[in-house]
Amino acid sequence: MKENTSDPRELLAEELYNAGIDGQKAFFIALDAGRNLVDKEYLKDCGFKGKHLKAVENIIKEFYWENQ
C-alpha cells in the first residue's frame, strides 16, 4: 500500500516519472517547480523538445494551477 504524501512536489515528481522522465531529472524539476523556477526555457535547457516538451509543460502548469 502506498503511503499518502502531503508534499505536492513528491506527487509532481511521481507524475513526471510516470510520464517517462528520468527519476533524478523529475526530482530536480519538482524541487525547482516548488520554488516557481520552472518555465518553458528551463524545460528546453533540460533537453525537452517537441511533444515531450509540451507534455511536461502541461504537467508543470497543472501543478502550478493546483498549488497557487
Full domain range(s) for residue 20: 8-66
Is 45 contained in some domain? yes
Query: Taking phi first (over 0 means left), then psi (-120 to 50 degrees means alpha), and beta for anything else, what does residue 36 get?
Result: left
Spatial contact of 58 and 7, defined as CB atoms under 8 Å apart: no
Residue 41 burial (10 A CB sphere; 0-12, 13-18, 19+): exposed
Is 24 contained in some domain? yes
Quote the pTM value. Answer: 0.85
- Chain segment 45-58, per-residue pLDDT in tens: 999 999 999 999 99
If one counts every other C-beta atom within 10 angstroms of the C-beta of residue 16, the result is 24
**pLDDT level of residue 21 (50, 70, 90 thresholds):** very high
How many domains is the chain built from?
1
Is 20 contained in some domain? yes
Whether the pLDDT of residue 68 is over 80: the answer is no
Is 3 contained in some domain? no
Is 1 contained in some domain? no
